[in-house]
Amino acid sequence: MAHHLKPPQHVFILPTPCDQHNPLFDTVQSTENFVLQRTKASKSQFLNSFLGTIQNVFDTKQAPFRILFRRQVNAQSLMIAEAETQKSIDQAWSWVQENFVVGLQVLDDAQEKEEWVLTKIRSLVTRADKGTDDITSDEKVRSASRAFRQTFNVLPSERLVSYYSCSYHSKMMNQGWMYISENYLCFYSFMLGMETKIFLELKDIGDLQKEKSKRGVFADAVRVVMKDGQEYFFSNLFHRDETYDLLVQLTTLTMERLLRNTALEHAPGQSNGDDGEGVKDVFSVDVDSLDSNESAYSPAPTTRPLRLGLEEQKRDSQFQLRFNLPISEHLMEESSATMVLGDKTDMFHGRVYMSESFLCFVCTDADPCVLALPLFTIRRVERMNSRSAMYALNILSWHQMRIVFRLNGPRTQCEKFCSTLKTNLKLQVRAMRSLKPFLATCFSEALLADRPDVAEKDSGLGWIFEFPGDPKKLKNKSKTKLWLQYFKDNGRNLTMTKMATFPKLIRVGLPNKLRGEIWEACSGSLYLRSMNPGEYTKLLKDNEGKMSLSLEEIEKDLNRFVAVNLISYQSEEQAFWMLNVLCDRLLPGYYSTSMYGALLDQTILEHLLEKTMPILSKHLKKVDVQLSVACLPWFLSLFINSMPLVYAFRVLDCFFFEGPKVLFQIALAILKVNGDELLASRDDGAFMDVLKKYFNTLDESAFPNSTNPKARALTKFNELMLVAYKEFESITPELVAELRRNHQLKVVHNIGSFTKRSQLRNIAPGRFSKDEMSVIYDRFYSALFYGRPQARGSNKQGEARALDSTTFVSFLGSIAHWAQVEDDQVDGDESVTVGNSPGHRRRGSNSTTATARERRRIVGRHFISRLFERFDQNGTGLLSLQEVTTGLDDIIHGDLMTRMQLFFDMHDLNKDGTLNRDEILGMSESLLFIFRFDDGDTYLGAISNFIRNAFEFAEKVESPKKETSSIDLDADKSETSEKKDGAEEEETKENGDITEEDKSKSSSPSEEPEIQMSLPSFRMVVLADETLEQFFDSGFANSCKLLEPVDRQRGLFAREVFDSLLSEGRKLAGSIAGGIQSRGSSGRSQSSTLATSSSATLTGRTSPSASLSDKSTSGGDADDSKSSLTLTSSQGGEKSAGQAGNVHDEYEDEDEDDDDDAEGDDLLDEVDKFLTEFDLESGGKKNLGLLSATDEDGSSSP
């Protein structure tokens, strides 16, 4: 940069739209294009706290100083810098003046000006981000990530990958931020009081397209099409291609995960249960050791931004693909270089790359060549004295071939390259030992040693049973000779350079005995085999005698698929590694259970047909023939079952060298050659006949009537290859890769919707409608998809189609609001964030609420896990879609009686048919848990009533049987048996892990007579209360929402406040402050109502003047629901009806602590306290961080 002043570090930010006339900021300085502002906050204690609020809610970068850029385009402003101190903002301001003002005067178009400024700022920011100062760049990402999480209410585990400024087009253009995380694509803008919020799941994206923005001028837009057809258009993306590539990469990963984690993929035969174990064993070994694809997703403790990981992963995979390297290789160094091979004088200019165990070179000149040299085949490296290049590496390969690389980079880069090479070579020394035995398995070695007739041990079946076809006709001998010469010139097997003549030698067909090895060399499986000596034998040994359904499937498939034919030319071990490359790299997803890869390529073939032969394509559509009917088997079996074997192998020769694009070329050529006849066929039968006939005559002359003897000698197969390579030259590996990327989302979604339909067909839907079933299905698999982050990349396919207890929680949370216990963790996380803000809410209440929160979480988990057990009818610990459907059907469509029974059974922990005291309390806790989000406080009264009535109407076991008017229909139990039950229960208590507190309680039974409530009395108690009756009659069922969105309380309220805050400013704040006063008094009166309603005769087990230590014990043992109710010091704080009320609960309870503690000795008081605590928590939940600020404000203002 030509300017003498260095830009201040970490002040500039990615340009963010904002409101210049924000009432909370004062303008300090302003020029034509820029404004320096400073917050008013420092002047007013009150406003300061509100700013804090905004920061907590919104977590934008609300630093006290900021610099805005005035957009002349739409009279808006973009924030370009912010700072905590006057000093740094001043620096930034001068820098801006110095660097921009002159430049801006030169430019006259507003649009141009803006672009120039923004680009400059962006590059500044990005450079800072990419710098070595990880902490700062990390902090930026972290804060963006926090804003993202809070705005979109995602789990704390969700990781933000990147965020971009962009605009979203709906009716109007909204300038805002695009957030891209592991699982979501989100957009947020806040303009002129209008909030736009878009939340898209990556897994639901059906198509991504690069577009020009609306006026068609700038190539800066991306269109996102969801699988349901909904479209979103984002423009003004400064790094559009980067954004697009990132989205493609992430959606691809998501698709892979979708395929693996949900219904779409599962090990064959896995549905039959028992053999699943075997399946896993056989499969997991090679997948785990070879598939490091998921490395970016492993929960590595690195704080490195995810995005860097993704970029690296992409670069590595491009590198691996280019040189057919194992995926364990990572690109470490690269440099431009010149290569000289052997004694020849030819020079190749290109690039040299280095990974852990390879040195690769590619020359892209007119005379192309490719070399991937395993480091363990290098005998010696010398640095040569060379005049032309400073760094020349003279390499002597195992085969005594001399290779010279001249590095043409800057000195430091070359030095780094050399030192990495040195380190890597040292690490490869061990691997050199296995080189000799390995080379003994290569036929090229035998050939060069001039003993070509020696049958190598462990070679293909062809060596024993002869190869297919007539060797004379195949010109086997002369082909072998050509290869011999090639090996001498360019190295062999592991050290072979692929020169311009290489493809030609491949296309004329490989000689029989070399075929297996050259396949390996072309596909890269040679590297795998050489780097994993003994692995195959070990696998065989480890799995010896194991049976699995996979084996059966494999045996069945043996005749149809490729493997058996590989074995003709290759040893078992060679074929094993070949298949590995075939399934993982060449044809990903072909041989998986959904065959999505094969289906994807069929879609691409159809697309290519339409592009290259529109008439035939149209004809097929007209007569309703599906191309895949004929072509899918070609691709799946690589023509082996369609063409005569001799020709199929010729295709394979090309395929292993050039990759899947060959299949497309040949398939299209077949259709082209037979075009006329195909155009005449009217149904798929005729279509098949034409092709079948063609394949059977491939060896016939293509031009039998030609006068030219050369043309007559041309077989139909020759013709086919010619057409394939000449007419379909345009089909390149890059094109295939791009088409695969473009079509994969659609294909996966098609498979998804097909799987959904066919699965739903086989589910007994109970009383659910089709739509409802569809929702249940979606949420079921959604829970599976998101639910097991720790299992990402693992192979546990057995669980892929059933919910475990963890995923069940998130599933239920997606159906019913009360079941969203995960949110609690978010709360916990947030409270930490909030706690870091200066001076608020540290006093006392924090630990208390933590205990209560903990308690509530435990109650919730217990309730849900008991529900899980109920749903899990066959006790497998996993819930199938059917079990979930049936379970929900009972809840939602059962009647009042069944639901009461359900609750009764669920809380009858000891299964004695009655509820004892602890079980009744457990019930009330569960009810509180479910009601916790309800507005109003009627349910508190209802639950108080429930407990009182329950204790009143339940039978007391110890005391003389006092018959109340309860209609105890189950009264056939004798007193003694009841006693016995009681005793038994005591025993279970003792055996269970109970805290001392519990023991002490049970040791003094006289104080707390055991009671028992039967189902009929439970019903009676429920029906006695209108709220409860309504709950069991319809409320609980209605809480499960299938067709309407489930409430997501978090965030919503806070946002509302935030919105009005901007428009109303002080006014609103004032009204809240006023509200605090009035609410305070009304809350108090309610609390006393509750307290006085306690008239039960039970004695409290502990002192009501609860100490904190008391609480922590009860929190600790709380996983047994028999434990006592939690007592907390901060009681009071009534359920407040309105949202405004919620805001002040927190401090209010502090005021009330002492007053209420004096009251009530009985248990019910404790319950009340618990209730309020409970409630308070749910209130706090709604408030988000807002609570803290108003709290502080409240305590200072009244």
Binding-site size, another protein (CB under 8 A):
36
Site string for another protein, 919-948 (x = CB under 8 A): ------------------------------
Three-state SS string over 1127-1138 comes to CCCCCCCCCCCC
> Quick one: tokens of 911?
């299964």
Tell me whether residue 292 or residue 628 sits nearer to another protein (CB atom): 628
Order of strands, sheet of 914-916, starting from the edge strand that comes earlier in the sequence = 914-916, 1011-1014, 955-956
Strands 34-39 and 173-181: unpaired
Least separation in angstroms between residue 636's CB and another protein is 5
**CB-neighbour burial class of residue 970 (10 A; exposed 0-12, middle 13-18, buried 19+):** middle
Touching another protein, residues 549-578 (CB under 8 A): 552-553, 555-556, 559-561
Instruction: Give the residue, chosen from 157, 628, 938, 1195, that forms a contact with another protein under the rule CB under 8 A.
Output: 628
Least separation in angstroms between residue 768's CB and another protein is 17
Instruction: Give the residue, chosen from 637, 774, 901, 1088, that forms a contact with another protein under the rule CB under 8 A.
Output: 637
Length of the chain: 1198
Site string for another protein, 292-331 (x = CB under 8 A): ----------------------------------------
436-441 long-range contacts, CB within 8 A, separation 24+: 437/533, 438/529, 438/530, 438/533, 439/398, 439/493, 439/494, 441/571, 441/574
Sign, Cα dihedral of 112, 115, 117, 123: negative
Instruction: Give the residue, chosen from 17, 52, 176, 268, that forms a contact with another protein under the rule CB under 8 A.
Output: 268
Tell me whether residue 630 or residue 731 sits nearer to another protein (CB atom): 630
Tell me whether residue 266 or residue 1182 sits nearer to another protein (CB atom): 266
Interface with another protein includes 595 (CB under 8 A)?
Answer: yes
> Quick one: tokens of 467?
């190869």
Tell me whether residue 684 or residue 986 sits nearer to another protein (CB atom): 684
Least separation in angstroms between residue 593's CB and another protein is 5
Tell me whether residue 6 or residue 761 sits nearer to another protein (CB atom): 761
Interface with another protein includes 1007 (CB under 8 A)?
Answer: no
Tell me whether residue 495 or residue 550 sits nearer to another protein (CB atom): 550
End-to-end Cα spacing for the chain: 56
Site string for another protein, 101-130 (x = CB under 8 A): ------------------------------
Tell me whether residue 257 or residue 266 sits nearer to another protein (CB atom): 266
- 35 membership: H or E segment, kind and range: strand 34-39
Neighbours of 41 (CB within 10 A): 18
Least separation in angstroms between residue 749's CB and another protein is 12
> Quick one: tokens of 433?
């030992």
Least separation in angstroms between residue 626's CB and another protein is 5
Residue 184 corresponds to which amino acid?
Y
> Quick one: tokens of 1138?
């309105």
The answer to whether 911 and 1015 are in contact (CB under 8 A) is no
Sign, Cα dihedral of 1105, 1106, 1107, 1113: positive
Angle, helices 1139-1157 vs 1066-1092, to 10°: value is 40
Least separation in angstroms between residue 549's CB and another protein is 10
Least separation in angstroms between residue 1061's CB and another protein is 53
Least separation in angstroms between residue 655's CB and another protein is 17
Among the residue ranges 11-19, 185-193, 548-556, 782-790, the one whose residues contact another protein (CB under 8 A):
548-556
Among the residue ranges 430-438, 621-629, 870-878, 962-970, the one whose residues contact another protein (CB under 8 A):
621-629
Residue 354 corresponds to which amino acid?
M
Least separation in angstroms between residue 688's CB and another protein is 5
Interface with another protein includes 706 (CB under 8 A)?
Answer: no
Tell me whether residue 431 or residue 632 sits nearer to another protein (CB atom): 632
Least separation in angstroms between residue 258's CB and another protein is 15
Interface with another protein includes 592 (CB under 8 A)?
Answer: yes
Instruction: Give the residue, chosen from 128, 643, 751, 1127, that forms a contact with another protein under the rule CB under 8 A.
Output: 751
DSSP 3-state of 38: strand
Least separation in angstroms between residue 879's CB and another protein is 20
Least separation in angstroms between residue 614's CB and another protein is 20
Least separation in angstroms between residue 254's CB and another protein is 20
386-421 exposure pattern, b = at least 16 Cβ within 10 A, e = fewer? eeebbbbbbbebbbebebbbbbbbeeebbeebbeeb
CA-closest candidate to residue 489, choices 442, 444, 428, 432: 444
Interface with another protein includes 548 (CB under 8 A)?
Answer: no
Interface with another protein includes 770 (CB under 8 A)?
Answer: no
The answer to whether 448 and 498 are in contact (CB under 8 A) is no
Instruction: Give the residue, chosen from 626, 886, 1002, 1195, that forms a contact with another protein under the rule CB under 8 A.
Output: 626
Tell me whether residue 754 or residue 999 sits nearer to another protein (CB atom): 754
- 333 membership: H or E segment, kind and range: strand 333-341
Site string for another protein, 493-532 (x = CB under 8 A): ----------------------------------------
Sign, Cα dihedral of 1133, 1137, 1139, 1140: negative
Phi, psi of 648 (to 5 degrees): -60, -35
Integer Cα distance of 918 and 896 in angstroms: 24
Tell me whether residue 595 or residue 1040 sits nearer to another protein (CB atom): 595
Tell me whether residue 528 or residue 663 sits nearer to another protein (CB atom): 663
Tell me whether residue 27 or residue 271 sits nearer to another protein (CB atom): 271
The answer to whether 883 and 762 are in contact (CB under 8 A) is no
Interface with another protein includes 589 (CB under 8 A)?
Answer: no
Least separation in angstroms between residue 774's CB and another protein is 15
Among the residue ranges 188-196, 749-757, 832-840, 1122-1130, the one whose residues contact another protein (CB under 8 A):
749-757
DSSP 3-state of 647: helix
Touching another protein, residues 672-691 (CB under 8 A): 682-685, 688
Integer Cα distance of 1123 and 1125 in angstroms: 6
Q: What is the dihedral of CA 227, 232, 235, 237, to 10 degrees?
A: -50
Phi, psi of 704 (to 5 degrees): -65, -25
CA dist 648 → 526, 699, 1096 (Å) = 22, 12, 88
The answer to whether 499 and 341 are in contact (CB under 8 A) is no
- The per-residue DSSP string of 801-812 comes to TSB-HHHHHHHH
Interface with another protein includes 632 (CB under 8 A)?
Answer: yes
Least separation in angstroms between residue 755's CB and another protein is 7
Least separation in angstroms between residue 888's CB and another protein is 22
Interface with another protein includes 758 (CB under 8 A)?
Answer: yes
CA dist 592 → 132, 208, 1040 (Å) = 43, 25, 36
Among the residue ranges 37-45, 218-226, 316-324, 627-635, the one whose residues contact another protein (CB under 8 A):
627-635
Interface with another protein includes 641 (CB under 8 A)?
Answer: yes
Among the residue ranges 275-283, 636-644, 874-882, 988-996, the one whose residues contact another protein (CB under 8 A):
636-644
- The per-residue DSSP string of 717-772 comes to HHHHHHHHHHHTTT--HHHHHHHHHHHHHHHHHHHHHHHHHHHHHTS--TT--HHH
Distance of CA 112 to the CA centre of its chain: 39
The answer to whether 255 and 740 are in contact (CB under 8 A) is no
Instruction: Give the residue, chosen from 108, 228, 624, 734, that forms a contact with another protein under the rule CB under 8 A.
Output: 624
Write out the residues near another protein by the rule CB under 8 A. Answer: 268, 271, 552-553, 555-556, 559-561, 592-595, 599, 623-624, 626, 628-629, 632-633, 636-637, 641, 682-685, 688, 751, 754-755, 757-758, 761-762
